[in-house]
Amino acid sequence: MTSDPPPPRGRVLRDALRLAVGTLTAFPVPPPERVDRRVAGAAMALAPPAMLPTAVVLGLVAWAGSRSPAPPLLVASLVVAALALSTRAMHLDGLADLADGLSAGFDRERALAVMKRSDTGPSGIAAIVLVLLVQVAALSGLIVSLAGIGLALLAVLVSRHVLAWACRRGVPAATAGGLGATVAGTVSPAALAAATAAAAVLAVAVGLAVGDVLAAGLTLVVAVVSAVVVVEHARRRLGGITGDVLGAAVEVSLACALAAAAATL
């Protein structure tokens, strides 16, 4: 009995990009022809390119808003709201579910059961409010200059790069089903190194463009470190990752990256 030959690399990349765009944004794309762990791992590594068109549009909105009579806090709030809409608020929902699950107690099964419920409890609401406050406050300080807008765009993109770190080989899934089970441990060390190198190149390029390589580099480092902290904490409490953990990692890393950029610019 022979197994099917592996699909060509070009088809894997095409399916991975479709999976990344379809999963991480609200924009309609043709479904991938095949979804397996190879495609899933590539999709997580390609999360920043999948988010690039959205980030560019949001950057233009921020630039136009910063040149309008509207106060920076209002413009920042609108940009953050548009970002949430462009992702169907999926990551914020994951953040709320993880916060509710972790606050339900130290029993793993109870935490996972709470995370599966459709309602949002006090811990989830508090987590969303606090993270959005940090994002809006930091962004309001960044959009007053082109350099700040550039760093904000970098923060959005590297907050999606952290998915490759969250799904790196050795990180298990917390449950047997769902998005977490599909992508957990799918990013090989080589793919993670390549994705991180690409993110570093992007950070340097943005840093040179805005005249502050240190701020750009710190934005990348803080995004990755904060996401790894979220993932490792969830791994200790839940035994692995779920789709909610991935969403929480994205939102927390975005808030921390924007804060780091605003503090160092």
Residue-by-residue DSSP string for 174-197: SSSSHHHHHHTT-B-HHHHHHHHH
- Please report whether residue 23 resides in a domain: no
- Please report whether residue 45 resides in a domain: no
Q: What is the mean pLDDT of residues 143-154?
A: 96
pLDDT of 7 reads 63
Q: Cα angle at 57 between 134 and 35, to 5 degrees?
A: 90
Contact 199, 220 (CB under 8 A): yes
Q: Which SS3 state, helix, strand or coil, does residue 241 take? A: strand
5 pLDDT band, cuts 50/70/90, is low
Q: How far is CA 28 from CA 24, 92, 118, 223, 246, in A?
A: 11, 20, 24, 27, 21
pLDDT of 150 reads 96
Give the closest residue to 5 by CA, choosing from 43, 31, 34.
34
Q: Is the pLDDT of residue 9 over 80?
A: no
- Please report whether residue 24 resides in a domain: no
Q: Cα angle at 90 between 181 and 189, to 5 degrees?
A: 45
- Please report whether residue 244 resides in a domain: yes
Side chain identity, residue 110 = R
Q: What is the mean pLDDT of residues 222-244?
A: 97
Q: Is the pLDDT of residue 156 over 60?
A: yes
Give the closest residue to 206 by CA, choosing from 246, 256, 146.
146
Q: Is the pLDDT of residue 52 over 60?
A: yes
Calpha distance 194→43 (Å, rounded): 13
160: CB partners within 8 A, 6+ apart: 24, 47, 48, 50, 51, 250
Calpha distance 136→148 (Å, rounded): 13
- Please report whether residue 2 resides in a domain: no
Q: How far is CA 145 from the centre of its chain?
A: 24
Q: What is the pTM of this model?
A: 0.94
- Please report whether residue 172 resides in a domain: yes
- Please report whether residue 13 resides in a domain: no
- Which of 23-32, 40-49, 67-76, 240-249 comes out lowest in average pLDDT? 23-32
Q: What is the mean pLDDT of residues 193-218?
A: 97
Which residues constitute the domain of residue 129?
A: 50-264
Number of domains in the chain: 1
Q: What is the mean pLDDT of residues 66-93?
A: 95
- Which of 8-17, 78-87, 155-164, 209-218 comes out lowest in average pLDDT? 8-17
Contact 139, 76 (CB under 8 A): yes
Q: What is the mean pLDDT of residues 248-254?
A: 98
Q: Is the pLDDT of residue 1 over 50?
A: no
pLDDT of 6 reads 61
Instruction: State residue 58 phi and psi, 5-degree precision.
Output: -65, -35
- Please report whether residue 14 resides in a domain: no
- Which of 3-12, 110-119, 127-136, 159-168 comes out lowest in average pLDDT? 3-12
